Amino acid sequence: MSSVHTTTAASAASARSVKQAGGGGLVMRGRLPEMWVGLGLVLAPFVLPAIGMSPDLLTRILILGLFGLGFDLLFGYTGLLSFGQAAFFGTGGFVTAYLLTDGVVGNMLLALAIGTVVAAVTGLLIGYLTLRRTGIYFAMSTLAFGEMFFFMENSVFKEYTGGENGIAGVPSPEIALGFIHIKVSSGWPMYWFVALVFFVGYLIARRIVRSPFGAVLKAIQGNPKRAMALGHAIQSYKLMVFVVAAAYGGLAGGLLGLFQSYMPPDAFSLDTSAQLVIQTVMGGAGTLLGPLLGATIWLYLYDGLQQIGSLGPYWKLILGVVFVVLVTVFRRGVAGALIQFWQRTRTLPAHIDADASSKVASVLDIVPPLATTRPGAPVLEARGVSKHYGGLKANSDIDFTLREGELHGVIGPNGAGKSTFFAMLAGELPTTTGKVFFRGQEITGIGVTSVCQLGMSKSYQINQLFEHLTVRQNMMIPVLARLRGRYRSDLLRSLHSDHLDSQVNAAIALVDLSHHADTQVSEMSYGEKRRLEIGLALATGANVLLFDEPLAGLGPEERVLVVALLKSIRQGRSMVIVEHDMDAMFELAERITVLYEGRKLTEGTPDEIRRDPSVQAAYLGGMDDESA
């Protein structure tokens, strides 16, 4: 995405006027990175040999760069660090090499395609197994599966792969498409062939990054739990991007065999996976071209150090030191550092999304409630809900009803079990006993994603935002979930549509952040973040909203703003609010439920609650004296 920013930043000031003047200039600007990459690939053979780069070296860099495009989608954009990509590189490579060498498939392009598909299917299987856990578990299990393939190459599949010998004599590629017939010989022709494949791979990866699918991937990287709570089935997204990365790996592996006329068994080795990780981190994850840059540094450094006789044996040590320094200081690699430098020198707002339409919808859509609902009917019901952690009873036997159109408050002293109760209402926590119903449908423990898709959303006590994205990009995530459902494979569609943008703008305007639409969230004040937090819940289109301490930590001015906001959004929505701020609660709520020591103490109108002696006692600590 960063490469997108650079070009849009350059044109930021004029972007909107250009858009209004006519689409032509905009299309050009939006495609600028593609043009630069294409130009670079064409010019490389005329420029780079001057600094000692041979066609073979360039071809090898492009193969690794192609491998890295897929991995960057997986790691740089989605945050999934896999150490087992060699499994797909090897699978694609050996399938392609076997088909061509044994003459099963004569057509080189068909063999490449089959190799890619087999690698993708392998990715589906391994992804299904490894994505069950995240973080360190994912890194460890992908690494172990990678090793499993390395051993299988030399045992189960030895007959086909040649075991330790690999597959030699892969025929040199011939492009046969019926009407044309080109024999690709080694050297520059091979470079052109691989460069073409790389370019197509790059165009596809760019489209994915700029699609609705890509927007969700970035949200998953930033805050997977919130992405899930906003209605996206993140497991499906992760699996799909894992498969895409595997396909890129398979294609790159196939090209390696064609390029070398030999498929080496160490394509499957841990070194291959490790090299991919290192080159991506060095070049810059999350930039698409970072892996290519990293591969260039890696291979050029290797060649260069070999020529300085005494340093040759230590090239990997030097590489290791460089790697550790980059991870510690420049987490976004060389490309990331360059982009940052570029943005600083231009002193322009870096994050403006020039493609976004400036239309604002007059109202933010709300998921329509069921046709059968009428005012006063129960919307959200908890029946005898309890939550026990071992011996600790956080909630015991709570009954609760929210009626259509109502604003219902939940109060209680610290430790009364409000947050636990709220989490169970929102479908985040399974109940120990008892059930939760949403418009008559049981939703106990069906999960936050499903709850959100039904039309209920929660705003969190501690902000759960996508800090590395802009306000606009944040607000897109819930709107995308409403427009697209739990999951959709729209990898190649473009992100923006007038409907999406007008809804996103309406949501941003509702929480009064329009002037900050293109600001990165991490740069905003706490009060502004707080409003965005509420805005995310609203933008899901939910007609039932749960607010967990919406006023927590706000100054007096921001507090007035948020109370006014909460009042203004009541039309068409039912709400539950947990809050410590009693004044605000008595001002807002129509009914109030009081929790005390994990139980429901009482329920009534604000006036009844204010006068209730048991409530006063609970807050003043009198209850403890009684029970003691």
Residues found near other proteins in the complex (CB under 8 A) = 75, 79, 81, 129-130, 132-137, 139-141, 143-145, 147-148, 151-152, 154-156, 158, 270, 274, 277-278, 281, 313-314, 316-317, 319-321, 323-324, 327-328, 331
Distances (CA, A) of 220 to 79, 214, 235, 350, 464: 8, 10, 10, 22, 12
Least CB distance to other proteins at residue 132 (A): 5
- Nearest CA among 431, 430, 373 for reference residue 402: 373
Residue pair 608/427 in contact (Cβ under 8 Å)? The answer is: no
The sheet with strand 392-403 has its strands ordered as 392-403, 378-389, 433-438, 441-442
Least CB distance to other proteins at residue 26 (A): 36
Determine phi and psi for 149, rounding to 5 degrees: -65, -35
The DSSP element (H or E) to which 393 belongs, if any, is: strand 392-403
**Which residues partner with 262 through β-bridges?**
168
Looking up tokens 């006036």, which residue turns up? 607
- Tokens standing for residue 458: 């929660």
Least CB distance to other proteins at residue 200 (A): 29
d(CA 305, CA 625): 79
Least CB distance to other proteins at residue 271 (A): 8
Least CB distance to other proteins at residue 321 (A): 6
d(CA 514, CA 152): 56
Q: At what angle do helices 333-346 and 270-283 cross, to 10 degrees?
A: 10
d(CA 470, CA 473): 5
**Which residues partner with 544 through β-bridges?**
456, 574
Least CB distance to other proteins at residue 148 (A): 3
What radius of gyration do the chain's Cα atoms show? 29
Judged by beta carbon, residue 154 or residue 444, the one nearer other proteins is 154
Least CB distance to other proteins at residue 540 (A): 26
- What 3-state class would DSSP assign to 385? strand
Least CB distance to other proteins at residue 134 (A): 6
- Nearest CA among 136, 129, 149, 133 for reference residue 84: 149
Least CB distance to other proteins at residue 97 (A): 21
Least CB distance to other proteins at residue 40 (A): 28
- Tokens standing for residue 528: 């502004």
Judged by beta carbon, residue 274 or residue 377, the one nearer other proteins is 274
Q: At a CB cut-off of 8 Å and minimum separation 6, what does 494 contact? A: 207, 210, 211, 355
Judged by beta carbon, residue 62 or residue 281, the one nearer other proteins is 281
Question: To 5 degrees, how large is the angle CA 74–CA 75–CA 80?
Answer: 85
Judged by beta carbon, residue 27 or residue 144, the one nearer other proteins is 144
Judged by beta carbon, residue 271 or residue 442, the one nearer other proteins is 271
Judged by beta carbon, residue 158 or residue 359, the one nearer other proteins is 158
Q: At what angle do helices 188-209 and 55-72 cross, to 10 degrees?
A: 20
Judged by beta carbon, residue 200 or residue 325, the one nearer other proteins is 325
Determine phi and psi for 525, rounding to 5 degrees: -75, 165
Question: To 5 degrees, how large is the angle CA 574–CA 579–CA 585?
Answer: 70
Judged by beta carbon, residue 152 or residue 176, the one nearer other proteins is 152
Least CB distance to other proteins at residue 334 (A): 15
d(CA 135, CA 142): 11
Side chain identity at residue 341, one-letter code = F
Judged by beta carbon, residue 17 or residue 310, the one nearer other proteins is 310
Half-sphere exposure of 597 (CA within 13 A, CB side): 8
Residue pair 286/338 in contact (Cβ under 8 Å)? The answer is: no
Looking at residue 263, what DSSP letter applies? E
- Residue 454 Ramachandran class (φ > 0 left, ψ -120 to 50 alpha, else beta): alpha
- Tokens standing for residue 498: 């007038």
Least CB distance to other proteins at residue 135 (A): 4
Within 11-75, where are the H helices? Answer: 12-21, 23-30, 32-47, 55-72
Judged by beta carbon, residue 132 or residue 359, the one nearer other proteins is 132
Judged by beta carbon, residue 104 or residue 144, the one nearer other proteins is 144
Least CB distance to other proteins at residue 238 (A): 14
Least CB distance to other proteins at residue 435 (A): 23
Judged by beta carbon, residue 81 or residue 566, the one nearer other proteins is 81
Judged by beta carbon, residue 165 or residue 616, the one nearer other proteins is 165
Judged by beta carbon, residue 155 or residue 571, the one nearer other proteins is 155
Least CB distance to other proteins at residue 229 (A): 17
- Tokens standing for residue 216: 């969700």
Judged by beta carbon, residue 17 or residue 328, the one nearer other proteins is 328
Judged by beta carbon, residue 21 or residue 156, the one nearer other proteins is 156
For 89-112, b where at least 16 C-beta lie within 10 A, e where not — what string? Answer: bbbbbbbbbbbbbeeebeebeebb
Number of Cβ atoms within 10 Å of the Cβ of 181: 9
